[in-house]
Amino acid sequence: MAEWAGNGENNGKRTVLSVRDLTMHFPVKHGLFGQVSGHVYAVDGVSFSIREGETLGVVGESGCGKTTLGKTVLRLLAPTAGQIVLRGQDITRRSDRQMREQRRQMQMVFQDPYSSLNPRMPCGQIVAEPLEIYDLVSGREKDELVTSLFERVGLSADQKARYPHQLSGGQRQRLGIARALALNPSLIVADEPVSALDVSVQAQVINLLKDLQREFNLAYLFISHDLAVVEHISHRIAVMYLGKVVEIADKRALFSSPLHPYSEALLSAVPVPDPGAKRDQIILRGDVPSPINPPPGCAFHTRCPYVKDICRTEVPALQEVTEGHFAACHLRTSAAPD
Ligand code: SF4
């Protein structure tokens, strides 16, 4: 567990991001005077770390808090509690002015590249803009840097003069990646970056992200609802349910032997690329409960096929079950009676 919050080295790879007990609760207001009547428990005590050159995939159904987690890590939202350490510096409570330097190190790639790009700006200017804001380069040097970024992400130099609507969906996502790379970041938070793209284009963009990671030693927090996509790009995977991480492990360990019943159900729905192979799909009963009023005990107990009495009252802690493989389930601890 120490490595999660630490800033140490592992195989020579330094920790880029450490998140400890990160919590993001949104107040629910009502009435004329906006009285607070409750909270949305969007992110609830999440801990993990990501090293250089590593991708941590975050999966879960929509509404599980994974997008809020990404925004909170980037400090686009002010966390309710917890700690965010970026390259050894605690950025949890920094003001916007103090965050200016750290923002260079953390960039985001969005789900919908079209709505995240200024439609009135030529594509070259979109990539040049962050360089101008930080006053890093100017004149010919800036033009050359923008051209090299275009080429690196698979766009041609003559596309610098075009506008976002003149590009295809895949090209727009490449443009978004070029913009994210312009400031030479350490960490990229990619929130469903390929879910709006055709399957063939998805593979190209994923492969591009993997190549760039190798080249620039980037750390990725890769958020997706699609386990097949997450498996392709991630080194480790965190499974989220109702604002909490319920399992986190190396991707091979997670796919071969999931420890949490929710992960088991998600994995059973991933198509197997073998027409002869059979997999029994686990159908979960009911919907995800409201994050305003999560169930007591294990939040998954209303849908879990293995629920026991203890699950209805006691919150299972995220514990290391085998080396590097953590799960939050009473079935995996000695606390659960038969
Ligand atoms: Fe199911 Fe209980 Fe484990 Fe929750 S703690 S996942 S309800 S067995």
Smallest CA-to-CA distance from 19 within 48, 43, 45 is with 48
**Residue of 266, 329, 334 with the most ligand 1 atoms within 8 Å of its CB, for mutation:** 329
Whole-angstrom distance between the N-terminal and C-terminal Cα of the chain?
28
Interval between CA 330 and ligand 1 midpoint (Å): 6
Angle formed at CA 188 by CA 265 and CA 243, multiple of 5 degrees: 40
Averaged pLDDT for residues 143-163: 96
Mean pLDDT of the chain: 91
Q: What confidence tens digit (pLDDT) does each residue in 217-239 have?
A: 999 999 999 998 999 999 999 99
When pLDDT is averaged across residues 132-142 and rounded to a whole number, the result is: 91
Per-residue model confidence as pLDDT tens digits over 192-208: 999 888 888 999 999 99
- Give mean pLDDT, residues 96-115: 88
How many angstroms does the Cα of residue 285 sit away from the middle of ligand 1? 14
> Ligand 1, closest atom to CA 305?
1
CB 164 within 8 A of CB 173: no
| 3, pLDDT greater than 50 | no
Ligand 1: centre distance to CA 328 (Å): 8
Of the candidates 112, 111, 110, 107, which has an alpha carbon nearest to the alpha carbon of residue 129? Answer: 107
User: Considering the entire predicted model, what is its pTM?
Assistant: 0.91
Residues ≥6 apart with Cβ < 8 Å to 131: 137, 142, 145, 146, 182, 183
The token pair at 120 is 């009135």
Which residue has better confidence, 288 or 180?
Answer: 180
> Which residue is closest in CA terms to ligand 1's atom 6?
329
Give me Rg for the CA atoms of the chain.
21
Contact between 301 and 285 under an 8 Å Cβ cutoff? The reply is: no
Q: Answer yes or no: is pLDDT of 89 > 80.
A: yes
Q: From the CB of residue 333, how many other CB atoms can be counted at a distance below 10 Å?
A: 14
C-alpha closest to that of 217 among 245, 190, 185, 192 = 185
- The pLDDT of residue 209 is 96
Share of the chain above pLDDT 90, in %: 75
Whether the Cβ atoms of residue 239 and residue 260 lie closer than 8 Å to each other: yes
| Residue 278 confidence (pLDDT) | 66
Residue nearest to atom 5 of ligand 1 (CA): 329
What angle separates helix 139-152 from helix 123-133, to the nearest 10 degrees?
Answer: 120
Ligand 1 contacts (CB < 6 A) are 260-261, 298, 300-301, 304, 306-308, 311, 316, 329-331
Q: How far is the CA of 320 from the centre of ligand 1 (A)?
A: 16
In this prediction, residues 140-169 reach a mean pLDDT of 95
CA of 21 to the centre of ligand 1 (A): 21
- Summarize pLDDT for 184-193 with one digit per residue, the tens: 999 999 999 9
Nearest C-alpha neighbor of 206 from the set 225, 220, 185: 220
Q: What 3-state class would DSSP assign to 184?
A: coil
**CA distances (Å), origin 150, targets 5, 196, 201, 220:** 36, 21, 17, 20
Tokens 């962050």 correspond to what residue? 130
CA gap 127, 181 in Å, rounded = 9
